[in-house]
Amino acid sequence: MSSCDGQTKTSAARVLTQEELDRLGSERTLVSDFKQMKLEKEAQKNWDLFYKRNTTNFFKDRHWTTREFEELKACREFESQKLVLLEAGCGVGNCIFPLLEDDLNIFVYACDFSPRAVEFVKQNPLYCPERCCAFQCDLTKDDLMENVPEGSVDVVTLIFVLSAVHPDKMKLVLENINKVLKPGGIVLFRDYGLHDHAMLRFKSGNKLGENFYVRQDGTRSYFFSKEFLAELFEETGFQSVANDYVLRETVNKKEGLCVPRVFLQSKFTKPGQSQSS
């Protein structure tokens, strides 16, 4: 997909057409409890199989991380400060390697629950243990402090990861990252937003719950409203700094259409003094 228009930041959710509203409203049947439990049990396996099929070829490098998240640079209190970053749910490293290339003064912890994804990160020619530490971790149940010292991280990035987690377990992920984040540290979040084109394309039989769907390959996707996300972070003790929808028209070459993409881009902080101040 390529962008056919600029992107717009907005605080209001995308307004649906009547046809889109009807389509969303007509999907009342949810996937059975049995299948939902199976999907939850096999979440890690399904993502690992995703990387077996796609290897490192599926996601594009996310060069926008530094471009759009100017905060990353602004996170430094002084220019020569080394930043410690945790990329939670790193996949094969599409976010971290462009960052490591761009910014020499950064140390990156990167974790994912797919062993294959972590292996791909470690095999990347840009991976070096002096600047990066990749490890396997299920963010909903494995304590991050087994690999990352408590309160040591300046910035956590959560990029298209929380949407893959069951909504009942999202809070566990935030509690886990909260422990390794420094007081004053920040979480940069970007993920699927409510009424994104992908949400409207799911066929009946793929709905798991409100704003929550399963793809053909068994991986799941939640579509976030800003209110839901803010409540989730605030309940875990974070403060909201920014929380906006990003609207973008992209060309879907297969469908020959310009389609409306919606992402939620947000920033939360852990209250308290930063250790260096």
Q: Please report, as ranges, the residues that interact with ligand SAM according to CB under 6 A.
A: 47, 59, 62, 89-91, 94-95, 112-114, 117, 137-140, 159-161, 164-165
Cα angle, residue 68 at apex, residues 66 and 73 outer, rounded to 5° = 45
Scanning the structure block, which residue is given the tokens 């969303």? Answer: 24
Q: Tell me how far, at minimum, the Cβ of 76 lies from ligand SAM, in Å.
A: 23
Q: Distance between terminal CA atoms of the chain?
A: 44
Residue among 66 and 274 whose Cβ is closer to ligand SAM: 66
Alpha-carbon separation of residue 275 from 71, 185, 188, 204 (angstroms) = 18, 10, 19, 50
Q: Tell me how far, at minimum, the Cβ of 48 lies from ligand SAM, in Å.
A: 7
Enclosing H/E stretch for 252 = strand 239-252
Residue among 218 and 260 whose Cβ is closer to ligand SAM: 218
Q: Tell me how far, at minimum, the Cβ of 146 lies from ligand SAM, in Å.
A: 14
Full DSSP string of 162-179: GGGS-GGGHHHHHHHHHH
Q: Tell me how far, at minimum, the Cβ of 45 lies from ligand SAM, in Å.
A: 10
CB of 163 closer than 8 Å to CB of 221: yes
- Residue 276 and residue 231: Cα distance in Å, rounded? 29
Q: Tell me how far, at minimum, the Cβ of 270 lies from ligand SAM, in Å.
A: 20
Residue among 73 and 215 whose Cβ is closer to ligand SAM: 215
Residue among 189 and 238 whose Cβ is closer to ligand SAM: 189
Residue among 95 and 134 whose Cβ is closer to ligand SAM: 95
Alpha-carbon separation of residue 264 from 10, 23, 182, 267 (angstroms) = 10, 22, 24, 10
Residue nearest ligand SAM (C-beta atom)? 91
Q: Tell me how far, at minimum, the Cβ of 18 lies from ligand SAM, in Å.
A: 31
Residue among 9 and 141 whose Cβ is closer to ligand SAM: 141
Give the single-character DSSP code of 154. Answer: E
